[in-house]
Amino acid sequence: MRKNKLLTGFALLVFAFLIVPLVIITVTAFGEGSAITFPIESFSVKWFVNVFTLKSFRSSFLTSLQIGLLATVIALLVGIPAAYALARSGMKGRGFLKSVFLSPTIVPGIVIGFVLYQFLVLTLRIPVFAGLLAGHFMVTLPYVIRVVGSSLDQFDFSVEEAAWSLGCTRSGAFFRVVLPNITSGISAAFMLAFINSFNNIPVSMFLTGPGVSTFPATLMNYIEYNYDPTVSAVSVVLMAVTVLLMVIVDKTLGIAALAK
């Protein structure tokens, strides 16, 4: 009994440690004063208005949204078949290949950003948007392979083989049997990859250029000269967008799985 109470208390302490800062940030976003204070003296939504009226915020938010979604979708299109091949393959070098795919999660982001800047910008001289997309694809792919690969490791491939024996093609079995059973992994991979892309700073700082900047980079520049409740309002907006996207992705993949 005493052990259970200690575990419950510890769980509540961890929960409070995670939730309280989010509550404080949310409350400070509605303060009327020009300084971030808690508790707030009076209620106002002007800082949220500020988020959507500043042109630099609007343009960089749309850029990050486009880059994040495109990079994540491309990473899924590449990463799901790659994870499937790794899970089904019995070759000796499978562990090494998996380590290569996951290497961007080990190398510091600032190193990846500098290498990509040297290769994509200085050597190939590709457009800024294309460079950002390539960099964010490199950042998101490992998360897709890791999460989807974990789901495939728990999948019973004898079910797929049974579909083959019943006359289903390999591609048909993959789309009708395998994918519907790993939708939760695909959903988690999508969210993890998108969040890491949208919030990425090291790679983005190297690859942004005139007229094209990601939202985190713009926010960092804003904080350098203006530290007001706009920062809190931005945090609340980002949390809301993330939760909304999680719900949409989860519902969409759930409906797709039922349709199969």
- DSSP per-residue codes, 132-170: HHHHHHHHHHHHHHHHHHHHHHTS-HHHHHHHHHTT--H
Query: Lowest-confidence range among 48-57, 60-69, 137-146, 196-205?
Result: 48-57
Evaluate if residue 258 carries a pLDDT over 70.
Answer: no
Global pTM exceeds 0.85: no
With bands split at pLDDT 50, 70 and 90, how would you rate the model's confidence at 3?
low
Residues in the chain, how many?
260
Query: Are the CB atoms for 209 and 200 separated by under 8 Å?
Result: no
Q: What is the pLDDT of residues 98-132, one digit of tens each?
A: 767 776 777 777 888 888 888 887 888 888 888 88
Q: Where does residue 106 fall: left (phi above 0), alpha (psi -120 to 50 degrees), or beta otherwise?
A: alpha
CB atoms within 10 A of CB 194: 24
Q: Please give the span between the terminal C-alpha atoms of the chain, in angstroms, as a whole number.
A: 47
Across all residues in the chain, what is the average pLDDT?
A: 80
Query: Are the CB atoms for 76 and 190 separated by under 8 Å?
Result: yes
Query: Are the CB atoms for 108 and 42 separated by under 8 Å?
Result: no
Predicted local distance difference test score (pLDDT) of residue 78: 92
d(CA 177, CA 17): 41
Q: What is the pLDDT of residues 57-80, one digit of tens each?
A: 888 888 888 999 999 999 999 999
